[in-house]
Amino acid sequence: MTDLTLVELASAIATRKVSAVDATQACLDRIARLDGRLHAFITLDADGALARARALDADLARGVSHGPLHGVPVAYKDLFHVVGLPTSCGTKTAEYFRSDRDSTAVARLQAAGAVTLGKLNMTELALGPFGDNPHHGNVDNPWKAGYVSGGSSSGSGSAVAARLAFGALGSDTGGSIRLPAACCGIVGLKPTYGRVSRAGAMALSWALDHLGPMTRTVRDCALMFELIAGHDPRDATSSRRPAPAVRAGLEGPLNGLRLALPENYYFDGVTAQVKSAVESAARTLESRGARVLPLRLPDPAGIVDVCNVLARAESAVIHSRVLRERPHELGAAVRARLEIGLHVSAHDYLQAGRLRARLAREFVDEVFGEVDAILAPAIPEPAPQLAAVTAGAVEEIVRRMGRFSRLTRPFNGLGLPVLALPCGLSADGLPLGLQIVGRPFDETTIFRLGLAVEQALPRRAPRD
Amino acid sequence: MSEPGPSKGSAAQAEIAALAGAIERAAGDLSLAEEPSNFQAVLEDGAPRD
């Protein structure tokens, strides 16, 4: 049953071919069998999930459907607050983040009928792209033991790829949805800034945080996105635009769409296999009617500097209490990254915010005057071995972190929507990741392009 | 409780100094009208026309 996609399962439950209890139990069975190696979950709520599934089955039996996710088991990165479950944010403190309400994104999925399996492992405080965690275990890559699962939404990537859950929510401040999606061979969306409410989820950087869905297919991702998008008065940065009906546009034609393959930065230092897979995806889209052209993008160095100043200052403020009172509880690299932010001046922080607005305007005007979307690799290489990238001095580990997330980070500063999805496998069987970047609030186009890429590739899943 | 922070001369101090320098050089010619909240207006203005 866990071979079904989220959309297929939702349909099977709606037509009563499958029960919510059976679907939930199937996930729990896989978790019992595989999570000892994967470490994808921090909190498993098996009793709560089964009770909810039984209630949903009873409702459906009397003709009451809660919505498009009725009975579908999903899970959430452990920085989304779910009432009744602890929110550790990947730290040693079980209830690091507290709230008296569910996060808005979770509440919207639950209102649509989702079953909550539990809370997913993550890099401590969402700081780090490799998926290691000193308190809850390193999240393993389902495709190859001992390899990076990607972070910081590591448990979300691993759980969805390994079919422990039909979908998950993650957060992305510098690539934390797209990196695990790419490493684990699944689909992840970083929506436009302001599109999905961040209320009720731990912040790492108010300026750069984005919440989004992680799933096995583009259609699954589009459905979850539709359900969580839209204005929320609990989040001051939430856009008032209505939630988009992206699924209605999935099958639209690609004729006339102009796509950029960047001439600078995004292919620098990228392995030949990754480059070839992204170019192959571009040819697929060309064969479906899109026009692909080389384009020099504005130098990302400026927006990356802006991101670094904003992220360091804001994360140090948000997590100042643990840094002040319990610094020994934090991993060395996480502590080092937070401490830097204590030394960012108010002057530099505000200048970075002003500069961001100008750089975003220049990027949108220059690039989206020429093309409708950008194609780029999500990771510069297939997932590396975890032991190799987490060895050595803290400064070297932090440098490796920066290199691994260099392709995703600029788009957090720019606030643009980005879909990450698989575009092939490496010679040794690890996923290769593509990112498709759209104009602001144009998630519809990147989902349409993503579906075309997905349809051209064989459906692959890691072996147990 | 002492204030946590990198020691003098550390790589962290160097990183902050480099970032500050880069931001200052790039922000030198910002117009007086530029403010951080313009960022969200840029996104709204850049959305596809219905």
DSSP codes of every residue in A98-154 = --SS--HHHHHHHHTT-EEEEEE--SGGG--SS---TTT-PPBPTTSTTBB--SSSH
Give the DSSP H/E element, type plus range, for residue A20: helix A20-38
Per-residue pLDDT at B50: 66
Q: pLDDT for A59-71, tens place per residue?
A: 999 999 999 999 9
Residues of B whose CB is below 8 A from A368: 46
| Structure token pair of residue A124 | 């401590």
Q: How far is CA A117 from CA A168, A175, A180, A266, in A?
A: 10, 25, 20, 37
* Burial class of residue A255, CB neighbours in 10 A (0-12, 13-18, 19+): exposed
Distance CA A359, CA A260 (A): 19
Among residues A88, A103, A149, A152, the one annotated as catalytic is A152
A450 φ, ψ (degrees, to nearest 5): -60, -40
A376 CB-near residues (< 8 Å, 6+ apart): A261, A262, A266, A267, A278, A407, A434, A435, A437
Residues of B whose CB is below 8 A from A441: 43-44, 46-48
A402 φ, ψ (degrees, to nearest 5): -65, -40
Q: Identify whether A176 is a catalytic site residue.
A: yes
Name the residue facing A352 among B4, B23, B44 (closest C-beta). B23
Q: How far is CA B12 from CA A30, A335, A339, B16, B21, in A?
A: 43, 12, 8, 6, 14
- Residue A152: asked if its preceding bond is cis (omega within 30°), the reply is yes
- Taking an 8 Å cut-off on Cβ atoms, the answer to whether B3 and A344 are in contact is no
Look at A274-288, A348-362, B11-25 and tell me which has the smallest mean pLDDT. B11-25
- Taking an 8 Å cut-off on Cβ atoms, the answer to whether A439 and B48 are in contact is yes
Q: pLDDT for A332-372, tens place per residue?
A: 889 988 999 999 999 999 999 999 999 999 999 999 999 99
pLDDT above 90 (res B10)? no
Q: For residue B48, give the DSSP letter.
A: P
Q: What is the 3-state secondary structure (H, E, C) of A377-426?
A: ECCCCCCCEHHHHCCCCHHHHHHHHHHHCCCCCHHHHHCCCEEEEEEEEC
Question: End-to-end distance of chain A based on CA atoms, in angstroms?
Answer: 15
- Taking an 8 Å cut-off on Cβ atoms, the answer to whether B4 and A348 are in contact is no
Q: Tokens 């970083």 belong to which residue?
A: A190
Say if residues A90 and A125 touch (Cβ distance below 8 Å).
Answer: yes
- Taking an 8 Å cut-off on Cβ atoms, the answer to whether B5 and A343 are in contact is yes
Domains of chain A: 6-455 (3.90.1300.10)
Q: Identify whether A103 is a catalytic site residue.
A: no
pLDDT above 80 (res A142)? yes
Note the maximum CA span of chain B: 56
pLDDT above 90 (res A268)? yes
pTM exceeding 0.95: yes
Per-residue pLDDT at B2: 39
Total residues found in chain A within this entry: 464
Mutate to test the interface with B, among A195, A241, A351, A441 (most CBs of B within 10 A): A351
DSSP-derived pairing of the beta strands A418-425 and A291-295: unpaired
Distance CA A185, CA A462 (A): 9
Among residues A149, A156, A176, A205, the one annotated as catalytic is A176
Name the residue facing A340 among B6, B40, B48 (closest C-beta). B6
Name the residue facing B42 among A305, A354, A360 (closest C-beta). A360
- Taking an 8 Å cut-off on Cβ atoms, the answer to whether A345 and B12 are in contact is no
Look at A23-27, A381-385, B1-5 and tell me which has the smallest mean pLDDT. B1-5
Tell me the torsion sign for CA atoms B9, B11, B12, B16. Answer: positive
Q: How far is CA B8 from CA A290, A340, A376, in A?
A: 54, 12, 39
Q: How confident is the model at residue B4 (pLDDT cuts 50, 70, 90)?
A: very low
| Structure token pair of residue A109 | 């999925």
Q: Tokens 């401040």 belong to which residue?
A: A173
Residues of B whose CB is below 8 A from A193: 39-40, 43
| Structure token pair of residue A47 | 């009793």
pLDDT (average), residues A107-119? 98
Chain A to chain B Cβ contacts (< 8 Å): 124
How much is the ipTM here? 0.94
Mean of pLDDT over chain A: 97
